[in-house]
A and B are shown apart, each in its own frame.
Chain A
């Protein structure tokens, strides 16, 4: 009898330990990395705030990153109520919107984030989330190589010769901050051993060309700066525009000329970082998240001190920088949607956004707000500046099938770059696929 009692007491103790604390709002966040650290800090501050009631305290839940969106989709489609707020990304809002509820972030959200950034969390004109982290692209370049080129008349002459021979244009070396895509292309060709045997580095750039949707996000800014968009105002798909042709042809030209590593068709984020950090590439169009690694003397000793960062080059329509955000929205089937909405409104306030930024998050903030963390987070100044000035979301890129559109483009465009199909075929297949996907 005594043994039974002890066993029951132990079982009760274990069961109580396994139960969650008194938290009443469960938030499913993006696991690992700076986003998790920042969210944990924000939640800790929110739970300690005097006006947060016991019923509104937040508890965090994390899956593994691998296959995150697939698992999230399966969970939400099954009507899971295991979380009240969940992670959402710009390109997947439309896919998850049927299982989510719009959220009112309050009047100050626009002053904190700006309209362009808030738009990354909108679908059908409704706000579905608070934009916690923003991703866009930087043009990383080797300051030492560009400086040497600008100082050397002989090198300048060689540059002009290469630009004329390879691109058919009269170009001169320029400061990277005023590059057009043609200037960038000429620079990459000049710094490629395949074109210029006296180049100090092996490649002029590192193109991310793997058949992967994220690589398409990196690529989009090139056609966009030539006026490209997914659809026109009437909703007709315009991917076969001259803008996309120019962008696709330029990538292929550089790849075929040997300006990017031969394995580029299997490259994504990590490979690009490794290539640039090795010191064998002069430029790389890469995610802003790489800035910390590429300018860290510990992680990238070869290039840390000589890495410059500018916005992507300009086209005839100016500069463009593809933005997509991570954020948190409300699960339609959540048990405490009111509590979740309250937490998200708090997260959209200036104080919360600054706290999130100080703890490693990457929110894109308006110039007035980001100035308050500029000393601790200088990278956020560039992030906010580029997002505000050049940030864009393609028309239809938050629709239900946006993810599939990126996937389709990745498959067809890489098919063209690898020489498996011609440009007309690639664009025609992409257009008809996009027509199906965007009308659904």
Chain B
């Protein structure tokens, strides 16, 4: 017997629906209008509809595609590295952590720091005259590489991102690893399977949904990266470290090209939605 009828359900949901409409729906609607309008800071309240010109400007802008490429490369690379490292740590450290769970706390520390702070921290750590890393490299080897020049900045930024977010992937994988019943491992062992075979044929397949979700979350986070890059290199020499979020920020605030910035955001939103839907579809096909 249903405890509550449809009417009650709608009634209880209405505050949430109103909240979403007001705080997400309204800005989204305004953004959609701005994206097809000629608008500036002076005409925020009276934009003039101008068709899809802003979208055309965005897709014809080489800088947009360059930023898109940067974000895509950054998102894929960091998500992959974080998942691989996180998985390795989860499996490798599981026996130790089951005996000393307190060790989880220090492993989680990087997650506690705001990304912008991480950027500022590495700006200091990697500085040739103030940072400990170049200092010891000069002491030991008489030279230090330029960590933030255009040739190496991408890799430095990726390493910083991976160092901060690997613990997140590790936490998810460790939880998934612990959830696998020991009976399965014992049965496989009785059948003669070694550690590698147990990992390959028992543990990894069972952890696969978590692996996919973690990769997806980390990819989205890496794709829309802003804070730590903004603090470390900004847009980079010649725009070499401009992520898509930074492109939108610059178009909006620095160029005052509001229509273009909003159109780029809408394109980013649609791309993310398509990615999510394809992933969902893939998961459904796999279940069949």
Contact B127 A211 (CB under 8 A): no
* Interface presence of B153 (CB below 8 A): yes
Interface footprint category on A: 35 or more
* Interface presence of B237 (CB below 8 A): yes
Across the interface, name the chain B residue whose C-beta is closest to A400.
Answer: B256
Contact A262 B149 (CB under 8 A): yes
Contact A261 B128 (CB under 8 A): yes
B131 to A: closest C-beta gap in Å: 9
Contact of B255 (CB < 8 Å), options: A70, A212, A407, A412:
A407
Question: Which positions 99-144 of chain A face chain B at CB distance < 8 Å?
Answer: none
Measured CA separation A139–B145 after assembly (Å): 28
> Which residues on B are within 8 Å of A, measured CB to CB?
41-42, 44, 126-130, 145-150, 153, 232-240, 250, 253-256
Contact A415 B239 (CB under 8 A): yes
A76-104 near B? 1/0 per residue, CB < 8 Å: 01100000000000000001001000000
Secondary structure at chain B's binding surface: helix, strand, loop or mixed?
loop
Contact B255 A404 (CB under 8 A): yes
Nearest 9 pairs between A and B by C-beta?
A415-B238, A262-B146, A418-B237, A266-B148, A278-B129, A414-B237, A77-B41, A265-B237, A420-B238
B230 to A: closest C-beta gap in Å: 10
Contact B240 A275 (CB under 8 A): no
Contact of B233 (CB < 8 Å), options: A70, A78, A266, A280:
A266
Across the interface, name the chain B residue whose C-beta is closest to A265.
Answer: B237
User: What are the residues of chain B within 8 A of A263 when measuring CB–CB?
Assistant: 126-128, 146-149
Contact A420 B150 (CB under 8 A): yes
Contact B148 A265 (CB under 8 A): yes
B20 to A: closest C-beta gap in Å: 24
Interface centre among B41, B126, B129, B256 (most CB of A within 10 A): B129
User: What are the residues of chain A within 8 A of B42 when measuring CB–CB?
Assistant: 77, 98
A296 to B: closest C-beta gap in Å: 16
Question: Do A278 and B130 contact each other (CB < 8 Å), given the known contacts A262-B146, A263-B148?
Answer: yes
User: What are the residues of chain A within 8 A of B253 when measuring CB–CB?
Assistant: 67, 70, 73
Question: Do A212 and B234 contact each other (CB < 8 Å), given the known contacts A266-B148, A407-B254, A415-B239?
Answer: yes
* Interface presence of A390 (CB below 8 A): no
Contact of A414 (CB < 8 Å), options: B44, B126, B238:
B238
> Which residues on A are within 8 Å of B, measured CB to CB?
67, 70, 73-74, 77-78, 95, 98, 209-212, 261-263, 265-266, 271, 274-275, 277-278, 280, 401, 403-404, 407, 411-412, 414-421
Measured CA separation A279–B253 after assembly (Å): 38
User: What are the residues of chain B within 8 A of A411 when measuring CB–CB?
Assistant: 235, 238-239
User: What are the residues of chain A within 8 A of B240 when measuring CB–CB?
Assistant: 418, 420
Measured CA separation A412–B232 after assembly (Å): 19
Measured CA separation A411–B251 after assembly (Å): 13
User: What are the residues of chain B within 8 A of A78 when measuring CB–CB?
Assistant: 44
Interface centre among A67, A262, A271, A419 (most CB of B within 10 A): A262
Contact B238 A407 (CB under 8 A): no
B160 to A: closest C-beta gap in Å: 13
User: What are the residues of chain A within 8 A of B255 when measuring CB–CB?
Assistant: 404, 407
Measured CA separation A21–B238 after assembly (Å): 50
Contact A412 B128 (CB under 8 A): no
Across the interface, name the chain A residue whose C-beta is closest to B116.
Answer: A66
Contact of B238 (CB < 8 Å), options: A271, A403, A421:
A421
Measured CA separation A172–B273 after assembly (Å): 66
Given contact pairs A77-B44, A262-B149, a sample of 6 additional A-B residue pairs in the complex whose CB atoms are under 8 Å apart: A73-B253, A211-B237, A275-B129, A414-B237, A418-B149, A420-B238
User: What are the residues of chain A within 8 A of B238 when measuring CB–CB?
Assistant: 211, 411-412, 414-416, 418, 420-421
User: What are the residues of chain B within 8 A of A77 when measuring CB–CB?
Assistant: 41-42, 44
Contact of B129 (CB < 8 Å), options: A73, A210, A274, A416:
A274
Contact B128 A210 (CB under 8 A): no
Across the interface, name the chain A residue whose C-beta is closest to B252.
Answer: A70
B138 to A: closest C-beta gap in Å: 9
User: What are the residues of chain B within 8 A of A266 when measuring CB–CB?
Assistant: 148-149, 153, 232-233, 237
Contact of A415 (CB < 8 Å), options: B41, B237, B250:
B237
Between A and B, 8 residue pairs with Cβ closer than 8 Å are A210-B233, A261-B129, A261-B146, A263-B126, A263-B146, A265-B148, A404-B254, A420-B238
User: What are the residues of chain A within 8 A of B149 when measuring CB–CB?
Assistant: 262-263, 265-266, 418
